[in-house]
Amino acid sequence: MSVRFAGRRVVVTGAARGIGAEIARRFAAEGAKVAVLDRLAVEAKDVAAEIGGSAHEVDLRDVAGTRAAVRQAIGELGGIDVLVNNAGILRFAALLDIDPEEWDDVFAVNTRSMLVTTQVAARVMIDAGGGVIVNSSSMGGKAGGDGQAHYAASKAAVIALTRASAAELGPHGIRVNCVCPGYVATEMGAATRTAEKIEAWSAMSPLGRLGEPEDVAGVVAFLASDDAAYLTGQAFNVTGGMITH
């Protein structure tokens, strides 16, 4: 594998497992120094040990704690070149049954935390002359979904935040894009993932399968690379063709 990120310093949130862990592995395999941020302390340490990175426990609902964790990670890395805002939570509830507190909880992790981490990282990037931010939205942020109004709305907000961030940070040499994964086989949503649902979801893709964490990690790595130097403010579908808008 190439070493196109040799010497680059990368912070990945929600990297203890699933897509985030695979993103951390991809950057490390391509030469980057990676900080793993997650509330799952043991799993985060395992991933960090595997890739030769550092682990930082953080509950992204805690604004002050999030700022402190990102600052600590950046300090240990000696700076930051890439921020990947991957962390997210999924909740299911019918629209009329969603508790406003649960709505706020989903937005706190899925959207507000990205504002907080971006504010910390972007200030360092501005002083350094540039950087890259990649946010994780979802197919749900474009297409919605039954029983996922809070999740879908939070992910649609990520797309809007990405575009606004790209506009404001571009003059400082900072590119901001987001990925919109479709159905990816991870721990998230595993409790409701029946064989029948897997078959139905797979049939929605012209490729006839669900996504794998590696599929998303590859796109994130591309967006963070110099090959994407003229891309910013975009929301890239990683859905196997399930949606194309």
Residues involved in catalysis:
151
The amino acid sitting at 88 is G
DSSP 129: T
- In 3D space, the residue among 214, 213, 225, 106 whose CA is nearest the CA of residue 177 turns out to be 225
Q: Within 13 A of 139's CA, how many CA atoms are on the CB side?
A: 20
Nearest to 69, CA basis, from 91, 44, 105: 44
Instruction: Give residues with Cβ within 8 angstroms of 197, minimum separation 6.
Output: none
Q: How many helices (H) and strands (E) does the chain have?
A: 9, 7
Alpha carbons 95 and 86: distance in angstroms, whole number: 25
The letter for the amino acid at 210 is L
Which residues 6+ apart lie within 8 Å of 168 measured at CB? Answer: none
